[in-house]
């Protein structure tokens, strides 16, 4: 990984701000098409934590063009099923095995590995990330856009994309609103080693009176635990995670937490940018939408934004299509994010209701719905994000 700060070119076709999974995907897709791109990230080195650990079928499909999907699959863990459980009883099971996709499963892979694979591909294609460069100003005029970084250097480009995360500086400079709210609960997130007896080919969502707990297998024998709490501890430790699994997880054969590899707590927002484009400035990924981690769709939706935007930006920059091509990006991708925000919001509210009678109705309804093949298919299509593909609607 490159850590030295090398000087910036004065001009580019496009500047991509942010080298998270979305910025890296976008940059690689643009470089592959011969577009001159400068990628800037304020971090001196890439992030090394696991964060988003789910890669869905639609994401693997859209990444095939970049020739990284097979490598992602080879490094990840294939999980063909999600189940919703009430302690030892399965309420509903969603099977991905019959999805109309070459990737009929969910892939579990830590985000830092996904980013490293994308970063390697960007380099193979001849691109690179410039670090550490924090963007402090973005301005546009009739002839182009000017990006200023904290060293005072500037880059002039035809287009600038904010792939700079939830607190996007690019979005701030466009003045585009980021409407939505923050959930009351906080989330515990821990990668642990577990001693337990349940199958390791499922993502399990435990709906308990105290709140939600998700247990998902990760590569290298680890498990990801995600749970809601009114006030999560800053650094959840082994005892914290054990207490969550004791009160919400399997009862007949309880899970034992052997150690915590990494843990974090976070608050979750559900917000959507009012627009994805302001002239020469565009937004993608968390800069444009954030939502509940229920279903693991944040990074996936963002990577799919990046691939869609790359096609349109290439047409404008390289092939000379007029800028209206870029309005199609918002028309294509903003409704998808709006659906994901709404779907994950419904899932989160259903999963975290504290109202006991409602919990009973919910659990009974899930058991009844579990008999309906059409419900299974709709859930699998939505979770895998294949439902976002216009050809499959």
The β-bridge partners of 162 are 17, 283
Q: Would you say 285 and 20 are in contact if contact means Cβ atoms under 8 Å apart? A: yes
In whole angstroms, give the CA distance from residue 101 to residue 245. Answer: 34
Determine how β-strand 281-283 pairs with β-strand 277-278: antiparallel
Residue numbers at the binding site for ligand FAD (CB under 6 A): 17-23, 40-43, 51-54, 111, 134-135, 163-165, 169, 189, 264, 266, 285-286, 293, 296-299, 302
Nearest approach, Cβ of residue 169 and ligand FAD (Å): 4
Structure tokens at 68: 């990284």
Q: Shortest CA distance to 282 belongs to which of 243, 332, 213?
A: 332
Looking at beta carbons only, is 269 or 318 nearer to ligand FAD?
269
In whole angstroms, give the CA distance from residue 344 to residue 341. Answer: 5
Taking the CB of residue 342, how many other CB atoms lie within 10 A of it? 13
Looking at beta carbons only, is 101 or 106 nearer to ligand FAD?
106
Looking at beta carbons only, is 214 or 317 nearer to ligand FAD?
214
Nearest approach, Cβ of residue 32 and ligand FAD (Å): 18
Nearest approach, Cβ of residue 121 and ligand FAD (Å): 15
Q: Strand, helix or coil at 178? A: strand
Nearest approach, Cβ of residue 280 and ligand FAD (Å): 17
In the chain, alpha helices (H)? 21-32, 57-62, 69-75, 111-124, 169-174, 238-248, 298-317, 327-352, 356-369, 373-383
Looking at beta carbons only, is 149 or 366 nearer to ligand FAD?
149
Looking at beta carbons only, is 250 or 295 nearer to ligand FAD?
295
Q: Shortest CA distance to 364 belongs to which of 84, 71, 176?
A: 84
Nearest approach, Cβ of residue 40 and ligand FAD (Å): 5
Q: Which residues contact 184 (CB under 8 A, 6 or more apart)?
A: 230
Looking at beta carbons only, is 138 or 208 nearer to ligand FAD?
138
Nearest approach, Cβ of residue 79 and ligand FAD (Å): 14
Nearest approach, Cβ of residue 319 and ligand FAD (Å): 26
Looking at beta carbons only, is 91 or 283 nearer to ligand FAD?
283
Q: What is the dihedral of CA 216, 219, 220, 225, to 10 degrees?
A: -20
Q: Shortest CA distance to 187 belongs to which of 344, 355, 373?
A: 344
In whole angstroms, give the CA distance from residue 335 to residue 312. Answer: 17
């Amino acid at each position: 990984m490159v850590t030295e700060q090398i000087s910036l070119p004065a001009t580019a076709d496009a500047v991509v701000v942010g080298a998270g999974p979305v910025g890296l995907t976008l940059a690689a897709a643009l470089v592959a098409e011969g577009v001159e791109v400068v990628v800037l990230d304020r971090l001196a080195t890439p992030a090394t934590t696991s964060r988003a650990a789910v890669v869905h079928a639609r994401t693997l499909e859209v990444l095939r063009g970049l020739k990284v999907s097979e490598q992602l699959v080879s490094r990840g863990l294939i999980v063909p099923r999600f189940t919703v459980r009430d302690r030892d009883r399965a309420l509903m099971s969603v099977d991905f095995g019959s999805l109309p996709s070459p990737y009929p499963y969910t892939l579990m892979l830590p985000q830092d590995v996904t980013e490293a694979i994308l970063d390697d591909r960007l380099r193979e294609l001849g691109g690179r990330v410039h670090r550490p460069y924090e963007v402090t100003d973005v301005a546009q005029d009739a002839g182009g856009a000017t990006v200023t970084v904290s060293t005072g250097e500037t880059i002039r480009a035809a287009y600038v994309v904010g792939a700079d995360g939830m607190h996007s500086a690019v979005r701030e400079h466009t003045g585009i609103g980021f409407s939505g709210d923050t959930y009351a609960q906080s989330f515990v997130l821990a990668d642990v080693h577990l001693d337990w007896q349940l199958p390791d080919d499922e993502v399990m969502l435990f709906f308990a009176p105290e709140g939600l707990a998700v247990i998902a297998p990760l590569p290298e024998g680890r498990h990801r635990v995600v749970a809601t709490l009114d006030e999560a501890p800053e650094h959840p430790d082994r005892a914290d995670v054990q207490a969550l699994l004791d009160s919400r997880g399997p009862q007949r054969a309880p899970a034992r937490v052997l150690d915590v590899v990494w843990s974090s707590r976070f608050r979750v927002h559900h917000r959507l940018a009012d627009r994805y484009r302001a002239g020469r400035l565009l937004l993608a990924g968390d800069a444009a939408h954030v939502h509940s981690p229920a279903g693991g769709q944040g990074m996936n939706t963002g990577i799919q934004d990046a691939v869609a935007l790359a096609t349109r930006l290439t047409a404008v920059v390289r092939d000379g299509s007029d800028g209206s091509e870029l309005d199609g990006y918002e028309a294509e991708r903003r409704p998808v994010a709006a659906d994901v925000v709404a779907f994950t919001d419904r899932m989160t509210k259903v999963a975290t209701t504290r109202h006991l009678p409602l919990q009973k109705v919910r659990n009974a309804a899930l058991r009844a719905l579990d008999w309906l093949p059409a419900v299974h298919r709709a859930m699998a299509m939505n979770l895998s994000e294949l439902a976002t593909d216009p050809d499959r609607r």
